[in-house]
Amino acid sequence: MSDAMEVRVPDIGDFTDVPVIEIHVAAGDEVAPEDPLVTLESDKATMDVPAPLAGTVTQLQVKIGDRVSEGSVLLTLHADRKVAHEDTPSAQAAVTDEPPPAPAGADHDAQVLVLGSGPGGYTAAFRAADLGLRTVLVERYEALGGVCLNVGCIPSKALLHAARVMAEAEEMAEHGISFGPAKIDLDALRSWKESVVGRLTAGVGQLAKQRKVEVVHGTGSFTGPHAIAVGERTISFDNCIIAAGSQAAAIPGLPEDERITDSTGALEVRRTPRRLLVIGGGIIGLEMATVYDALGSRVTVVELLDQLIPGCDPDLVEPLRKRVAGRYQDILLGTKVEGVKAQKSGLKVTLSTGDAQTFDQILVAVGRRPNGAALGADRAGVTVSPDGFIPVDAQLRTNVAHIFAIGDVADAPLLAHKASHQGKVAAEVVAGHDVTFDPLAIPSVAYTDPEIAWAGLTEAQAREHGVEYERAVFPWAASGRALSLARPDGLTKLLLEPGSRRLLGAGITGVGAGELIAEAVHALEMGSDAEDVALTIHPHPTLSETVGFAAELGQGTITDLLAPRSTRSR
Ligand code: NAD
């Protein structure tokens, strides 16, 4: 026996006029009791309206984007009355036109499932938990923390610190203090690096426990718009935040050889190769070159484009180029590796210049690729671009409104601090906050020696987009602090809007530039002008003063240098 019936929006809390964001059925579909029919979205959460009983959908009465309230008709169902009565109390209620009592989605395992536990993922999970949402964090590896904590930012910084100590000790020889050549115990260095990583990843695990975030280990793959399979288990969710990160890009055609590594392999510091080739003169390549140079390798860098760290203004890169040109075997710009032959005596590399050279190890650092394609996202209806990114809007929603993406998998720049900020925004949006991710500046830092940091507009971008700007550049050779550190090889640059002198961008090269850029980022976010920064009293003598001095240069009020005549009387 069967009956036509209208399925209406049940009483699912205190809301009216909410949009339909997904429709899971079409006319003619057979549905079982509790199958999701449509998804609604209030300012607090997304909710599925389930089928009250088994039957066949005869007609949809809403489309995506329509706004509905309690009692609005969603669709008509040719219902199997017998099954309905036997099946569920909610079905019975629906047939008698009573809305089902249980809030849809309330029996999902998680209100928020976060896929990936890097800086983006764990931040999103912790913020969601702090906002009272039942949260599950899925991570394929045993250790939490993702690439950044385990095989990226943190271990590389530990090794770069070791490199800086050695370089500093060596350089002091010129100024009367000699320690002799460094004795390097690679095993001890590696275990210190691993202990730093271990402390941080254990700390993330501890914070998850304290917040009652359930951590599930295993590789997650979507099975539908509200479920992810992790091994044997299927976890259902109201909302999902994809934070699945990225992986090192490979160069096709290179031989399989354990002497050819990506950054993960290089961070292992198993040995110090005598001749190291770094393919890619970007941030990762140059950071690892800094480490291996300090450890004693003869480093050659091959970069496809005509500048190290393409994308950064050349004047900021110049002090680094100068320093490494004196230390490294070679820096080959505008050069491509044509082929590599693995031989017993070494890796024979043919370059686009026609040269062939042999190396003991090769580090491939030619960029990173987002992991969007490996998640079964299509089963959830989530769009993945051909290059592996998952496009998102300003609230970090994918094309499926209750599924979000953050960090490397969402968009460039591929930086941990961008991911963690996006993680907070996504969690807050799920919790019903009206927020968007719209920073004015995301800083980039190369932790090379010297460090290079920049934020906001670059000169290259300004030229490309026809943005007018004034430059204010303070050379570190005029900084008492830089001279007393024996490192005057730096500069602090501000780009200012002509007239208003509002900050448009900033760049700093020199030791500690990664720390110093934070003041400029703050100023950019606050919409500060050069006067705001110039009138901020910086402690003397510090490197932070150079930011104040650059602002004074922009204002024409500097006295530590002779400002150009045109600006002096401003
Ligand atoms: P990158 O894109 O910064 O640099 C890769 C470089 O390799 C580019 O300069 C590119 O021109 C060059 N290249 C590409 N193909 C080449 C080829 N066949 N031969 C020679 N050169 C080639 O990538 P990366 O350094 O691998 O870093 C990856 C991502 O990770 C970046 O987005 C970076 O911002 C991020 N990251 C950031 C930090 C940090 O913030 N300190 C550290 C590491 C990585």
What are 181-213's pLDDT values in tens digits? 999 999 999 999 999 999 999 999 999 999 999
Give the whole-number percent of the chain exceeding pLDDT 90: 81
Residue from 283, 317, 420, 448 to probe ligand 1 pocket by mutation (most atoms less than 8 Å from CB): 283
Nearest alpha carbon, ligand 1 atom 8: 282
Nearest alpha carbon, ligand 1 atom 3: 282
CA of 303 to the centre of ligand 1 (A): 10
Q: Which atom of ligand 1 is nearest to the CA of 337?
A: 19
pLDDT digits (tens, 9 = 90+) for 123-168: 999 999 999 999 999 999 999 999 999 999 999 999 999 999 999 9
Could you tell me which of 438, 440, 441, 431 has the C-alpha nearest to residue 395? Answer: 438
The pLDDT score that the predictor gives to residue 336 is: 97
The pLDDT score that the predictor gives to residue 9 is: 87
Nearest alpha carbon, ligand 1 atom 28: 367
- Ligand 1 and 415: CB distance under 6 A: yes
The tokens of 198 are what? 């271990």
The tokens of 404 are what? 């979000």
> d(Cα 303, Cα 320) in Å, to the nearest integer?
15
Could you tell me which of 261, 276, 259, 269 has the C-alpha nearest to residue 330? Answer: 276
The pLDDT score that the predictor gives to residue 179 is: 96
- Ligand 1 and 332: CB distance under 6 A: no
Give SS3 for 158: helix
- Ligand 1 and 280: CB distance under 6 A: yes
- Ligand 1 and 339: CB distance under 6 A: no
Phi-psi region for residue 105, left (φ > 0), alpha (ψ -120 to 50) or beta? Answer: left
Q: Which atom of ligand 1 is nearest to the CA of 248?
A: 26
The pLDDT score that the predictor gives to residue 94 is: 32
130 versus 54: the higher-pLDDT residue is 130
pLDDT score of 465 more than 90:
yes
The pLDDT score that the predictor gives to residue 569 is: 65
Cα–Cα distances (Å) from 441 to 311, 444, 464, 467, 517, in that order, read 15, 9, 18, 16, 11
- Ligand 1 and 279: CB distance under 6 A: yes
Q: Are 42 and 402 within 8 A, CB to CB?
A: no
pLDDT digits (tens, 9 = 90+) for 264-303: 999 999 999 999 999 999 999 999 999 999 999 999 999 9
CA of 420 to the centre of ligand 1 (A): 21
- Ligand 1 and 443: CB distance under 6 A: no
pLDDT score of 451 more than 90:
yes
* 142, 147, 148, 150: CA torsion to nearest 10: 40
- Crossing angle for the helix pair 283-295 and 153-171, to the nearest 10 degrees: 50
> d(Cα 48, Cα 39) in Å, to the nearest integer?
4
> d(Cα 336, Cα 359) in Å, to the nearest integer?
16
Using omega within 30 degrees of 0 as the cis cutoff, is the peptide bond preceding 319 cis?
Answer: no
The pLDDT score that the predictor gives to residue 401 is: 98
The pLDDT score that the predictor gives to residue 148 is: 97
CA of 309 to the centre of ligand 1 (A): 8
What is the model's pTM? 0.83
CA of 1 to the centre of ligand 1 (A): 66
pLDDT digits (tens, 9 = 90+) for 75-105: 888 877 543 333 333 333 233 333 333 334 4
First-to-last alpha carbon distance for the chain, in angstroms, is: 89
Nearest alpha carbon, ligand 1 atom 26: 367
Average pLDDT, whole number, for the chain?
92
- Ligand 1 and 370: CB distance under 6 A: no
Across 29-51, average pLDDT: 81
| Residues pairing with 275 in the sheet | 298
Q: Which atom of ligand 1 is nearest to the CA of 263?
A: 26
Nearest alpha carbon, ligand 1 atom 2: 367
The pLDDT score that the predictor gives to residue 87 is: 36
Residue with tokens 């780009």: 495
Q: Is 402 a catalytic residue?
A: no
The pLDDT score that the predictor gives to residue 14 is: 66
pLDDT digits (tens, 9 = 90+) for 529-542: 999 999 999 999 99
The pLDDT score that the predictor gives to residue 340 is: 98
The pLDDT score that the predictor gives to residue 75 is: 87
Q: How confident is the model at residue 44 (pLDDT cuts 50, 70, 90)?
A: low
Across 388-398, average pLDDT: 98
- Ligand 1 and 526: CB distance under 6 A: no
Give the whole-number percent of the chain exceeding pLDDT 70: 94
- Ligand 1 and 305: CB distance under 6 A: yes
Q: Which atom of ligand 1 is nearest to the CA of 249?
A: 26
The pLDDT score that the predictor gives to residue 97 is: 35
Q: How confident is the model at residue 17 (pLDDT cuts 50, 70, 90)?
A: confident
Q: How confident is the model at residue 54 (pLDDT cuts 50, 70, 90)?
A: confident
Q: Which atom of ligand 1 is nearest to the CA of 416?
A: 40
Q: Please tell me which residue in 24, 217, 417, 540 is annotated as part of the active site.
A: 540
> d(Cα 9, Cα 18) in Å, to the nearest integer?
10
The amino acid that residue 23 corresponds to is: I
pLDDT score of 308 more than 60:
yes
Q: Are 370 and 415 within 8 A, CB to CB?
A: no
- Crossing angle for the helix pair 513-525 and 545-555, to the nearest 10 degrees: 50
Across 456-480, average pLDDT: 98
CA of 251 to the centre of ligand 1 (A): 13
Across 168-183, average pLDDT: 96
pLDDT score of 557 more than 50:
yes
564 versus 471: the higher-pLDDT residue is 471
The pLDDT score that the predictor gives to residue 12 is: 62
Across 513-528, average pLDDT: 98
Residue from 368, 444, 451, 517 to probe ligand 1 pocket by mutation (most atoms less than 8 Å from CB): 368
- Ligand 1 and 281: CB distance under 6 A: yes
Quickly list DSSP for 387-405: TS-----TT-B-SSTTEEE
Using a 10 angstrom Cβ sphere, with 0-12 exposed, 13-18 middle and 19 or more buried, the burial of residue 515 is middle
CA of 284 to the centre of ligand 1 (A): 6
CA of 364 to the centre of ligand 1 (A): 9
- Ligand 1 and 445: CB distance under 6 A: yes
